[in-house]
Amino acid sequence: MVNLDSPPNLLKVWKKWNEPIGYVDMGPDVRSDNDTQNLAKECLVFMAVGITSRWKLPLGYFAIDSIGSEQQGNLLQTCFSLLYTIDVKTASLTLDGAASNISMCKFLGAKLDFHNEGFQPWFPHPEDTNERVYVFLDPCHMLKLVRNAHKMNVRLALRRSATAFIAR
């Protein structure tokens, strides 16, 4: 039982680095025209975390320049498939709130548009469509987003001598 973390994070790589090792590398299985042409800027790391047991394990990493949501989704699906073949049950997926992540969730089959009626924060497991994989947008990042939204409004509120948020 596993939770899969996947932010296209966060390791900025020096652009100046000018060796073969600093280029975009999607591994041997993924064909990418960008391979070995662009310098890598970020590192995409997948990590599995045990939910009912106490362990975590980085599953792999990709040196990327930038990555499309679809491509990222495909990599994730590969992750799910590989975990499935060794009988690791993947129950949830954690991402931060970047726009590309959200469109990736859409690509995988989740519906995170809250103003629509069909709000569905999970998607079927790529290997076993009866199982659901629940999408969690990392609460810490969400809290930060909420704080930023709130901060802006507090300033407004101070200027206008009014409450920041009004609940109906």
Partner 1 sequence: MKTVQELFPELGDLSGTAKFCSFMNDAFDILNCNNLFSRVGFNLPLKNSTRAKLKERVQEIENYITKIETREAPTLVRKWPRKTGFVGIISCLRNIFPLFDKLRTWGARYFLTSKILQDHLENFFSAVRSRGGFSNNPTCRHFRRAYKRLLTHAEIVLSNNGNCLMNEIPILHCSGNSGLKVDSVLFEEDDENDCEPNEEDKDNFTAADLLSVHDYSRTTCLIAEGEYLHEVITYICGFITRKILKKITSAKLLHLN
Residues numbered 124-163 forming contacts with partner 1, rule: CB under 8 A: 132, 134-146, 148-150, 152-154, 156-158, 160-163
Q: Judged by CB under 8 A, does residue 30 bind partner 1?
A: no
Intra-chain end-to-end CA distance of the chain, in Å:
41
**Considering only 29-37, 66-74, 75-83, 117-125, which stretch makes contact with partner 1 by CB under 8 A?**
117-125
Choosing from 14, 66, 68, 70, the residue that interacts with partner 1 (CB under 8 A) is 14
The count of other CB atoms within 10 Å of the CB of residue 139 is: 9
13 binds partner 1 (CB under 8 A): yes
Q: Pick from 28, 31, 33, 86 the residue near partner 1 by CB under 8 A.
A: 86
Q: Least Å distance between CB 34 and partner 1?
A: 14
Residue environment code for 85-106, b if the CB has 16+ CB neighbours within 10 A, otherwise e: eeebebbbbbbbeeebbbbbbe
Q: Is the Cβ of residue 127 or residue 138 nearer to partner 1 in the bound state?
A: 138
Alpha-carbon span 153 to 104, nearest angstrom: 30
User: How far apart are the C-alpha atoms of 109 and 12, rounded to whole Å?
Assistant: 30
Interface with partner 1 by CB under 8 A: which range of 27-35, 56-64, 71-79?
56-64
Q: Which x/- pattern, by CB under 8 A, does the window 33-52 give for partner 1?
A: -------x--x-x-x-xxxx
* CA distance linking residue 87 with residue 113, whole number of Å: 32
* Nearest-approach distance from CB 41 to partner 1, in angstroms: 10
- Give 55: exposed, middle or buried? Use CB within 10 Å, 0-12, 13-18, 19+: exposed
